[in-house]
Amino acid sequence: MKNGLLLKKLRQIAKEKGTTFDLIRHGANHDVYELGGTRLIVPRHADVNEITANSIIKEAEKT
């Protein structure tokens, strides 16, 4: 999954839940975002592994 598509899905989840999706900090290989009080670690790679992307989305939906 492309990184941009993953971030778009995370923003959509935040909008549906009525919470914020904020960038906390940039790292060398990963970015840290906060979605409604839950911290999400998102790889900065152009292509994110499908298993990793689905895991991040699943974690975001639990909040």
Domain boundaries, the chain: 3-62
- Report pLDDT for 51: 97
Contact 44, 27 (CB under 8 A): yes
- Report pLDDT for 32: 98
- Report pLDDT for 63: 76
Amino acid present at 61: E
Task: Note down pLDDT in tens along the chain; length 63 residues.
Answer: 999 999 999 999 999 999 999 999 999 999 999 998 999 999 999 999 999 999 999 999 997
Q: What is 3-62's CATH number, 3.30.920, 1.25.40, 3.90.320, 1.10.3470?
A: 3.30.920
Residue 20 pairs in a beta bridge with none
C-alpha of 47 from chain center:
14
One-character DSSP codes across 25-36: EE-SSEEEEEET
Task: Read off the tokens for 20.
Answer: 């914020």
Amino acid present at 17: K
